Copies of this chain bind each other. A is one copy, B any other.
Amino acid sequence: MLRLSKLTDYAVVVLTRLEEGEGVQAAPDLAAATGIAEPTVAKVLKILAHAGLVEGLRGARGGYRLTRPIAEMPLTEVITAIDGPIALTACVDSAVGHCEAEDLCPVRGRWDPVNRAIRDALSGITIADLAPPRAAPVAPPARPAAPLAATA
């Protein structure tokens, strides 16, 4: 299904909400605003903070804040932060020695053109492109609600 984790979805929601709000926002507030369970929001924020996409301010009156506008935040960074590096199959990463049928396997390392293609496709999309109700002036415009994933 080519699925990416639900956490990534949450991350986009949270980041969007973070942009809409003003100043620092505490995790519980973001949870209430987005409708996502509080511990989960906290988890997402921790990951994003680790990746440098948001900044956490401790202490009373603390909270989270974006390090830059979401329009300058490529989607790939969020995905990489949460789901790890973009690579389609296990056979593809740096490992070169533990495929039991290594000499027979004809696809050895041949997935990288695919990975590259996906990375290229994703690199042009920012979080702002996924935040519709506001200004979304970007490359792939129009088609607000296409029929949706069919045969692909």
Mark contacts of A115-152 with chain B using CB atoms, 8 A cut-off: 1 yes-contact digit, 0 otherwise. Answer: 11111111011000111110000001001011011111
* Contacting residue for A107 out of B12, B80, B105, B148, CB 8 A: B12
Does A75 sit within 8 A of B, measured CB to CB? yes
Query: For residue A151, which residue of chain B has the nearest CB?
Result: B80
Query: For residue A141, which residue of chain B has the nearest CB?
Result: B113
Q: Is A131 a contact of B145 with CB atoms below 8 Å?
A: no
Q: Is A2 a contact of B93 with CB atoms below 8 Å?
A: no
Does A42 sit within 8 A of B, measured CB to CB? no
Q: Is A105 a contact of B3 with CB atoms below 8 Å?
A: no
Q: Is A105 a contact of B34 with CB atoms below 8 Å?
A: yes
Nearest CB in chain B: distance from A81 CB, A = 10
What's the tally of chain A residues with a CB closer than 8 Å to chain B?
Answer: 70
Which of A21-29, A61-69, A84-92 interfaces with chain B?
Answer: A84-92
Q: How many Å lie between the Cα of A85 and that of B3 in the bound state?
A: 10
Q: How many Å lie between the Cα of A133 and that of B105 in the bound state?
A: 11
Assess A148 versus B117: contact at CB under 8 Å? Given A9-B107, A35-B100. no
Residues of chain A touching chain B, judged by Cβ–Cβ distance below 8 Å, are 1-6, 8-9, 12-13, 16-17, 33-36, 75-77, 79-80, 83-94, 100-101, 104-122, 124-125, 129-133, 140, 143, 145-146, 148-152
Q: Which 8 A-B pairs have the closest CB atoms?
A: A35-B101, A86-B152, A87-B149, A121-B121, A117-B121, A35-B104, A110-B130, A85-B149
